[in-house]
Every structure is written in C-alpha cells, then in structure tokens.
Amino acid sequence: MAKIQDIRNRIDLIDNQLLKLINRRGELAVKIGLEKSRKNGATHFHVPHRERAIIERIRRNSKGPLPDDSLESVFREIFSATLALEKPLRIGFLGPETTFSHQAAIKQFGHSSEFIPNPDIESIFRQVEQGNCDYGVVPVENSIEGVINLTLDCFVDSPLLICDEIKNTISL
C-alpha cells in the first residue's frame, strides 16, 4: 500500500505544478489581451488559427500515453478558461442545450464560453451578423439528412465565413 501512496504523492506534486503553470498561462494571456487593447483597441481576442497551431504542436510533440484527442480536449478547456479571463466567447448553436449542435459547440469552444440556443439556423446567422454572438455553430452535414441545404443557402446570403469544422461521431 505504501507504494501506491508514494505514486499518489508524486501525482499530487505534478498536479500542483500543472496548476501553477496553467495559472501562469492565464496571467500571460491576460497580458497579451491588454497589449492588444493598448496597441490597436482590440476587443476580440479569440485567434482560431493560433489555437489550431497549438493543438497541432501538442499532437506532434506528444509521446503518449494519452491519446491526441484527449489532449486536445484538455487544451481546448484551457483555451476556453483563459479566454474567459479576457472576454468569454458567446456561441450561437441550434436547438436547446444537450443537442448535437450544443455538444459540438462545447467540444470546439470549451465549457467557459457562453452558449446561446437558437430555434433555427437563420437565427444563428442573424445573431452572429448582429454581433450578439462571436461565433455560430451550424450543421453543414449530418448522417440522417446528408448536406443541410439551408445552411449552405445562409452562407451564400451572408457575409459570414466558415472558420473551422467540427466533426462529431453520433451514435443513436
């Protein structure tokens, strides 16, 4: 039993180191936000291509045993919590909470974002266009209906652009 306790003690030390590093990361992110605001009056701090680059670097450098998808989830939550220190993202999604769209939004933006349910796809586009949401998560394709033509039509009629793709494995 002493061996298990020794291992747990080492894990506790690592957890404390992780905690310090995550908080230090948060402090640095706030400094970046302040610098952006000071330099150019920025109020939008989310930089998706920076997050993608970090995730790619993490995947490349990971030697296991944790799977890449698990590490990505951990880092997405760190991104979300860090960004919430500056300004939480407001994310529009289709349907009530717990829908597949809501799950996809959480997967992409983390739990520290603010999620805004919308009754239909057009509402999501409107919310983002009017600045009420920073991003919208809309279905482009699903396993039941295939391509969602209404979403494609909305993109044609809107100045909004696709900034990322979220793939969710759905099992009914």
Tens digit of each residue's pLDDT (9 = 90 or more) over 57-113? 999 999 989 999 999 999 999 999 998 898 889 999 999 998 989 999 999 999 999
> What band does 45 get if pLDDT is binned at 50, 70 and 90?
confident
Greater model confidence, 47 or 1: 47
Report pLDDT for 172: 65
Sketch out the chain's domains with CATH numbers.
1-87 (1.20.59.10), 88-172 (3.40.190.10)
Tens digit of each residue's pLDDT (9 = 90 or more) over 6-28? 999 999 999 999 999 999 999 99
pLDDT, average across residues 112-120: 96
pLDDT, average across residues 48-60: 94
Percent over 90 (pLDDT), the chain: 66
pLDDT, average across residues 136-143: 89
CB proximity list for 141: less than 8 A, separation 6 or greater: 147, 148
pTM of full prediction above 0.85: no
Report pLDDT for 47: 81
Greater model confidence, 33 or 27: 27
Greater model confidence, 166 or 22: 22
CA-based nearest residue to 157, from 127, 133, 132, 122: 122
Contact (CB, 8 A) for 71 and 43 = no
Lowest mean pLDDT among 39-43, 117-121, 143-147, 164-168: 39-43
